[in-house]
Amino acid sequence: MGGSGRDSPRFNCANDGLRENLRRLVPNTLPPRMPVIFSGIQPTGTKHLGNYIGAIRQYVEGQDRGDPAIFCIVDLHAITNPYDPAELRRSVYDLTALLVASGLDPARCVLFRQSDVKEHTELCWLLASVTATGELNRMHQFRDKSVAQRELVSSGLLFYPVLQAADVLAYRAHEVPVGEDQREHLELMRDVARRFNSRFGEELLVVPDHRIPVVGARIMDLQNPDRKMSTTGGSEEGTVYVLDEPKVIEKKIKRAVTDADDPPRIAKDPAKPGVSNLIDIMAVARGVSPEQVVADLAQARGYGDLKAATAEAVIAMLAPVKVRYEELRADEAALEQILASGAEKARSIAAQTLADVRRVMALGPPPS
């Protein structure tokens, strides 16, 4: 993704409007600043087109805008669902290789594994003191996933948003690039930060903004376009994986569910979720607006043309990532080195926040 500023129309940032209005009313009081950017991504499953468009592309865009831009492979979140320990270790390397193959440069951002920085779990516990269980019980993700965990609903699943709040707040991040599905967790984290500051009488934690792409914030399952493309809840045929072979991508997109409109109509319309989804996917893959995609397909003979063009654009976007991934994944020692050096940088930032948090909460010996 090419570089873009905080004013990029491709993203919605919660407080951007407010900040811009203030800047206009009182010039020079709020100079443009480089935001601290933070986001986490789970090392589970194989990453799909939704993860790539909603999250990973935003990370790559953010790495030169952030000071610093921090990206975390959240293995502690991954253990809130049933998992195989050996597979988790492999998946962390898979994801590290995928992120670097997608364009993250460890020299221009901080890339690390969550469990290497113990400040995350400590801050999680400390933030629990200002988080209501009722709020956690109401989270959609908890409600959906706890239904799926039939044998044991882990308390980690309930606590997931508190750990997520700790991930972000430990770095005093201003911006959190995520897909639309994380909006509710981001709102909770903002409430937790405000409540903590008010309870302990200092503006110590930064209330972060979410950064959600204007196009592609919610990529839908190709077979069930009323549901988001998802690692655990989606259909295999309706989920395009970043590392799928081109032939597989083509097959999945060509079989995408559209609608029975006669004559077929290529348009963005809430009543046409399948067609709208393909338009969004193609827009992102080609780097143009959905309106442009619709205009380009004005002469199309039907949905077959839309699907063929979408498949071609997605294959062109993902093919270089796959090639680079294969090279990087072969060298686990190099991947481990990237994570270790990222963890060192992350720790040095998070430790400062934790020292402040412990001080205001009166934990440990009094400051000298």
Least separation in angstroms between CB 247 and ligand AQP: 23
Q: Which residues of 115-148 are buried (b: 16+ CB within 10 A; e: fewer)?
A: bbbebbebbbebbbebbeeeebeebeebeebeee
Least separation in angstroms between CB 154 and ligand AQP: 14
Q: Which residues of 205-220 are buried (b: 16+ CB within 10 A; e: fewer)?
A: bbbbbbbbbebbbbbb
3-state secondary structure 162-209: HHHHHHHHCCCCCEEECCHHHHHHHHHHHHHHHHHHHHHCCCCCCCCE
The CB-nearest residue to ligand AQP is 54
Least separation in angstroms between CB 87 and ligand AQP: 14
Question: By C-beta, is 76 or 130 nearer to ligand AQP?
Answer: 76
Least separation in angstroms between CB 38 and ligand AQP: 12
The residues of the shown chain that bind ligand AQP, judged by CB under 6 A, are 41-42, 44-45, 50-51, 53-55, 178-179, 181-182, 217-219, 228-233
Question: By C-beta, is 241 or 303 nearer to ligand AQP?
Answer: 241
Question: By C-beta, is 138 or 199 nearer to ligand AQP?
Answer: 138
- Measured between alpha carbons, how far is 326 from 182 in angstroms, rounded to an integer? 30
Q: For residue 356, how many other CB atoms are within 10 A of its CB? A: 15
Question: By C-beta, is 233 or 246 nearer to ligand AQP?
Answer: 233
- Measured between alpha carbons, how far is 182 from 54 in angstroms, rounded to an integer? 10
Least separation in angstroms between CB 231 and ligand AQP: 3
3-class state of residue 217 by DSSP: coil
Beta strand 209-213 pairing with 175-177: parallel
3-class state of residue 81 by DSSP: coil
- Measured between alpha carbons, how far is 182 from 347 in angstroms, rounded to an integer? 25
Question: By C-beta, is 197 or 231 nearer to ligand AQP?
Answer: 231
Question: By C-beta, is 310 or 357 nearer to ligand AQP?
Answer: 310
Residues in the chain: 368
Around 249, how many Cα atoms within 13 Å sit in the side-chain half-sphere? 23
Least separation in angstroms between CB 61 and ligand AQP: 14
Least separation in angstroms between CB 13 and ligand AQP: 15
* Closest CA relative to residue 103, chosen from 348, 325, 312, 255: 325
Least separation in angstroms between CB 290 and ligand AQP: 15
Question: By C-beta, is 182 or 258 nearer to ligand AQP?
Answer: 182
Least separation in angstroms between CB 23 and ligand AQP: 28
Question: By C-beta, is 157 or 192 nearer to ligand AQP?
Answer: 157
Question: By C-beta, is 277 or 353 nearer to ligand AQP?
Answer: 277
What are the structure tokens assigned to 118, written together? 């113990």
Which of the 8 DSSP states describes residue 38? E
